Each structure stands twice: as structure tokens, then as C-alpha cells.
A and B are shown apart, each in its own frame.
Chain A
Amino acid sequence: NAGVTQTPKFQVLKTGQSMTLQCAQDMNHEYMSWYRQDPGMGLRLIHYSVGAGITDQGEVPNGYNVSRSTTEDFPLRLLSAAPSQTSVYFCASSYSELSNTEAFFGQGTRLTVV
């Protein structure tokens, strides 16, 4: 099994550009989430989904959109990139929202906005 796959691994954007970070899991997990990780800080939740067709906002949702059309995929869209969105982004999945762990993380996408 591939687990949680994120693409791309690295990306440089100009301010105002849009892009989509891809996340796919092959474990039939219901719960998926997106985090950003900034230096000296813990991971912060951006958006999450408890199942196909259902998404909700996390702690820092502004500037990001998500959709969950299938169980496997949970893309994160930056609508108009800003330098403040320079960060490392992690996608995670677990069996369900009620399971007590985000057990599987992707390798991350390192995004730089110039």
C-alpha cells in the first residue's frame, strides 16, 4: 500500500497565483485532514473531512478551499497565494473521526510564495 501520497513535494508560487495540492490515500479511510507546519510551531489544522461529500473548517481555513468528491482524494486549493502561506503542508488520514489518531501522514508539500 502507498498510504498517504502528496504531490507535489516542492512548489514555488508567485503572489496571486492559484494552485492545488493533491492528497490521496488508498486505505479506505473516512477521515482526512490538511495541516500546515511553520517553524517553531505545532501543526495547525486547515480543513478536514469526515467522509466523501463532507468538509469542515479547522483552525486556519482562510485562503484555502477543499473538496471531497471521493473517499480517496482530498485536494487543497490555494485561491490566491500570499507570502503568509509559505509553509509545509501535510495531509493526514485515519479510519474515522472517532478513531483516536491521525495515524497516517503524507510526506508533505513545501510551498514557497514569493
Chain B
Amino acid sequence: GQQLNQSPQSMFIQEGEDVSMNCTSSSIFNTWLWYKQDPGEGPVLLIALYKAGELTSNGRLTAQFGITRKDSFLNISASIPSDVGIYFCAGKDSNYQLIWGAGTKLIIKP
């Protein structure tokens, strides 16, 4: 089946640092999505990307849809404590089904 490789699995960062995570796929996707999940909650949509090459921002978050349609990255600038959580990428295939990455856990060092 289709697989998404999301990296890194976890990140320890200092407050104020920039963060970068990415997802790669063995298959082409028509849509890339980035979600954040807080403990005890469901995922919340952060950014949706619909076209290859598209670069979209949402506040301090920036995400890009790779030209090959097989990858995407998410950057967070000037991280703050409320950025902690698990970030998931998800790709939507031609059957409109979402395939999810395993998540990147963001931890801010005290």
C-alpha cells in the first residue's frame, strides 16, 4: 500500500528556533495537508496544499507542495511553547483517501 515517510520522528528545540519537518511518498498525491494534534484532542488542520509547487503560509507556519507531488515540508518560524504537539502530514490520493504520516513530535526545551 501507499506509504508516507515523515521525519524527523521527534525534535527538541529551544524557544525561538525555527523548525522544519518533511514528508515523502512513494506515490503521487493530489493534495498535501498538515495537521497538529494536542494531547487528548483530534488533529486540527493547519495548512492545505492543492497544487505542485504551491507555497502557503499560516502565520508562522509555511508549507510547500513538492514539484514531484511526492513530498511536502512544513516550517515553523520562531517557535513558542504552544507549538508543542504532534504534527502530521497527510496526502490525498486519486481515490480521495487520506494517507497519513506517523507524526513529528515537537518538544521545546525548558
Chain A interface (Cβ < 8 Å from any Cβ of B): 4, 40-45, 48, 58-59, 90, 92, 97-98, 100-103, 105-108
Contact = CB atoms under 8 A, between A and B. Distances in A.
Contacts, number: 56
B66 interface: no
A108 B103 contact: no
7 contacts: A40-B102, A48-B97, A92-B42, A100-B48, A102-B45, A102-B98, A107-B40
Interface in B13-35: 30-31, 33
Interface of B: 1, 4, 6, 9, 30-31, 33, 40-45, 48, 50, 88, 90, 92, 96-103
Given A43-B88, A43-B100, 16 more contacts: A40-B102, A40-B103, A42-B4, A42-B88, A42-B90, A42-B103, A48-B97, A58-B97, A98-B96, A100-B50, A101-B31, A101-B33, A102-B90, A107-B40, A108-B41, A108-B42
